[in-house]
Amino acid sequence: MTDLFGDPAAFLQRLVLQVPALLLAVTVHELAHGLLADRLGDPTARLQGRLTLNPLPHLDPLGALAFVLAGFGWAKPVPVNAYNLRHPVRDMAWIAAAGPLSNFATAFLGLVALGLARQIADVPLIGAPLIGMLVWIYQFNLALAIFNLIPLPPLDGGHFLPYFLPRRSWTLLHQLEQYGPFLLLLLVMTGATRYVLGPAFHLVSSLLIATARLLF
């Protein structure tokens, strides 16, 4: 918001690069959930037209607006019916993991593409915008993957819990699902998530960069 009123041109320039990168991150994330759910026996996402690289079915209008205005938003979750799965608890954990894993993979591919794109950095009207977009692709995918690993419903990390915790704790988990969104909003609004996500982002980023350097 500060850039929007202080330097509208810079805000719009950055938004032009950020929006495609964000759309790619959320589309890959939700598509991965739907594809694995379909593979494990639940066709709900496929029947609702969510197995697509078209970002529009995955967008939540309010979440997209929140991103533009506040830098934080959300997508429309892919529907999954656990009753269609052969092993509901285990399969739901795998489906939840598919989203972050797909973002880690996309972040790494974006990093590799960034290394290649630096060779054309001096090309007018192409080099700088391309590099800028690839930077955002890398950052958005990595941040989305790490953020979704927070063990709190409705994030993917919250869907891992039933698989790793004993059955007697599931009643508590169902209660946590009711208050999870409010707790998550509180953590984000107070900035508490930065104390965990910041170090995790830098650690994983260092590992990915070190791995990518082996290719060049």
Q: What is the pLDDT of residues 137-175, one digit of tens each?
A: 999 999 999 999 988 888 999 888 877 778 777 777 777
Q: Is 30 tagged catalytic?
A: yes
For the chain, helix, strand, coil in percent to 5 are 75, 0, 25
Which is more confident, 11 or 102? 102
For the stretch 10-30, pLDDT in tens is 778 888 888 899 999 999 999
Which pLDDT does position 86 carry in this prediction?
A: 93
Residue type for 17, please? L
Q: What does the pLDDT average to over 77-86?
A: 95
pLDDT in tens, 35-46: 999 999 999 999
- pLDDT top residue among 177 and 88: 88
Q: Are 35 and 41 in contact, with CB atoms under 8 Å apart?
A: no
Where do the structural domains in the chain lie, given as residue ranges?
2-213
Q: Which of 28, 30, 36, 37 is catalytic?
A: 30
Burial category of 52 from C-beta neighbours within 10 Å (exposed 0-12, middle 13-18, buried 19 and up): middle
